Amino acid sequence: GQNIDQPTEMTATEGAIVQINCTYQTSGFNGLFWYQQHAGEAPTFLSYNVLDGLEEKGRFSSFLSRSKGYSYLLLKELQMKDSASYLCAAMDSNYQLIWGAGTKLIIKP
Amino acid sequence: DTEVTQTPKHLVMGMTNKKSLKCEQHMGHRAMYWYKQKAKKPPELMFVYSYEKLSINESVPSRFSPECPNSSLLNLHLHALQPEDSALYLCASSQDQGSGANVLTFGAGSRLTVL
């Protein structure tokens, strides 16, 4: 079957760095997405990886290892507004998104 | 215009009512989606329209009926819903359906409460 695993909840301190991990098993693979979702709001796109390696975009970076079925989202210089859920989603061979349950990130002052 | 607009933002309806959720995008996207999201759960795909034709129906009960009048509009008609259908209904669009870098742009959602 197809499956995405990510931690349910993480806590970090303002100004620090946090890494949110995601492992996936899909039928075929066409890329890995990260979305941010604030409570009661719609998800917004953060990153897309289809090749191995690190993609950096400002304070956020995303990493992919296809051989390990593994990705992480790295958030630097954490701000209070980064408190949100972070959703990992892998695209299978039919271009369908398989969603993880999301990681709720709590930022403390 | 890089937005997906959904109306209404909030909807309360009884189990015998008929109502509709509406979604509009003007980004020239050819794929449009309806998702259902319960609290603390990921979005759950309901329907996909590609080039105005229904391409995916994820075994959704017939009390939910999608409609795509044109390439910019997507409706979800609701009839005889159950209380367990209460959720956030998200519309999304993407450039097309069958490609890798298929970034979804979501609307703000319609929060539905069924009494």
Q: What would the DSSP string read from start to end of B13-76?
A: E-TT-EEEEEEEE-S--SEEEEEEE-TTS--EEEEEEETTEEEEE-S--TTEEEEEEETTEEEE
Residues of B within 8 A of A34 (CB-CB) are: none
Assess B41–A contact: CB distance below 8 Å, yes or no: yes
pLDDT of residue A2: 87
For residue B100, is pLDDT > 80? no
For residue A91, is pLDDT > 90? yes
Q: How far apart are CA A77 and CA B4, in angstroms?
A: 30
For residue B86, is pLDDT > 70? yes
For residue B92, is pLDDT > 70? yes
> pLDDT digit string (tens) for A40-75?
889 999 999 999 999 999 999 999 999 999 999 999
The C-alpha of B21 sits at a distance from chain A's nearest C-alpha, in angstroms, of 16
Percent of chain A with pLDDT over 70: 100
pLDDT of residue B1: 65
> pLDDT digit string (tens) for B19-55?
999 999 999 999 999 999 998 899 999 999 999 999 9
Query: Residue A99 and residue B97: Cβ atoms within 8 Å?
Result: no
Query: Residue B105 and residue A95: Cβ atoms within 8 Å?
Result: no
Residues of B within 8 A of A42 (CB-CB) are: 90, 106-109
Query: Residue B40 and residue A91: Cβ atoms within 8 Å?
Result: no
